Amino acid sequence: MSIKHGLLALLDQGPRYGYQLRAEFESRTGSTWPLNVGQVYTTLGRLDRDGLVVPDGEDGEGHVFYKITDEGRRELREWFDEPVSRAGRPRDELAIKLAMAVTVPGVDVAAVVQSQRAHTLRALQDYTRLKARAAEDDLAWQLVLESLVFQAEAEVRWLDHCESRLARRDLVAPAPAPLPADAGGGAVPPDTDDERSDDRAAPRRGRIRRGNR
């Protein structure tokens, strides 16, 4: 998330001091990404060092104003002109988790998918509730919320997809005997650890255990 460019965009509309920038940043994005004033000052320091902003005097209460430079405006234009790189985003912890879950023996992958989906849906409900409450004319806030909504929805769809992939894998290759660690217990038939024995050919839900693929 680019605090740097967010601050430049605000300063493009006139000189401002730290607290002001923080308050405006939060109101534009509806406090979705709360900033502390320390982050604002650190970022201003870096922008100053790079010649993108310059100090612009103090008011009577000692607030130091900053204003954007021509170099800063150029940087801001470039930011608006260029698509946001997908590669620069934080690694997707969930994708990594599921990749691990399907390869590490003994993990209940279906349960991982399900609890994640419930969690993501709850977030989606929260965003939607905020959207329902948001003022119709607060376009900036509406757009931020909708971005969160569509991202969460994409995650849910991907989880649905993972689930049907898992179900299909189970149909194609029936679960092998339990883990080697289960020594002496004897092979348990794949279905008996599932209380739903009346599920004929339907994809099995719940425990998916396998030692290897």
The reply on whether position 202 binds another protein by CB under 8 A is yes
- Are 144 and 29 in contact, with CB atoms under 8 Å apart? yes
In the region spanning residues 74 to 93, those forming contacts with another protein, defined by CB under 8 A, are: none
Helix (H, G, I), strand (E, B) or coil at 186: coil
| Token representation of residue 153 | 């929805």
The SS3 assignment for 199 reads: coil
Rule CB under 8 A: say whether 142 interacts with another protein. no
Among 9, 54, 64, 149, binds another protein (CB under 8 A): 149
Round to whole Å and give the CA distance between 178 and 208. Answer: 10
- Kindly tell me which of 19 and 33 has the beta carbon lying closer to another protein: 33
Distance, in Å, from the CA atom of 188 to the CA atom of 174, rounded to the nearest integer, reads 13
Residue 34 vs 45, nearer CB to another protein: 34
Q: Which of 2, 27, 125, 147 binds another protein (CB under 8 A)?
A: 125
Residue 30, token pair as written in the block: 């509806």
Residues in touch with another protein (CB under 8 A): 30-34, 114, 117-118, 120-130, 132, 149-150, 152-153, 156-157, 160, 163-164, 196, 198-199, 202-203, 205
